[in-house]
Amino acid sequence: MHMEKEELYTTAYMARLKLSETESEDLEKAVSRMLKYFEKMMEVDVANSEPTTHALLKDNRLRKDEIAAGKQTSDKILKNAPELEDRFIVTPNVL
């Protein structure tokens, strides 16, 4: 299966990737090659199979939402923000 340029750009936008012209040429080839390879999966009869999402997974588990000792990390997290005003992260204008 070949992915047309337009499809590639649509998919890239969905993934919030802005591709340059040369980049998109390379990626068009690489993505198409993989999609072609994925066609191999069509040979398998999966009619009576259930999908596996996780190989081993127990039921839903919950824990209390509380700060554990030694895990007060909010200041350290904020230090990684590209731009701060007090304890707020700055973004360009939304409107």
How big is the chain by its Cα radius of gyration, in Å?
23
Q: Does 38 bind another protein (CB under 8 A)?
A: yes
Q: Does 67 bind another protein (CB under 8 A)?
A: no
Q: Which residues pair with 88 in a beta bridge?
A: 85
Q: Does 22 bind another protein (CB under 8 A)?
A: no
Of 52, 65, 67, 86, which one interacts with another protein (CB under 8 A)? 52
DSSP 8-state symbol, 87: T
Question: Under 8 Å CB-to-CB from 52, ≥6 apart: which residues?
Answer: none
DSSP string, 31-66: HHHHHHHHGGGGGS--TTPPP-S-SS--S-------
Q: Does 87 bind another protein (CB under 8 A)?
A: no
| Residues within the interface to another protein (CB under 8 A) | 3, 7-8, 11-12, 14-20, 23, 26-27, 30-31, 33-35, 37-38, 40-44, 46, 49-58, 61, 63, 69-71, 73, 76-77, 79-83, 89, 91-94
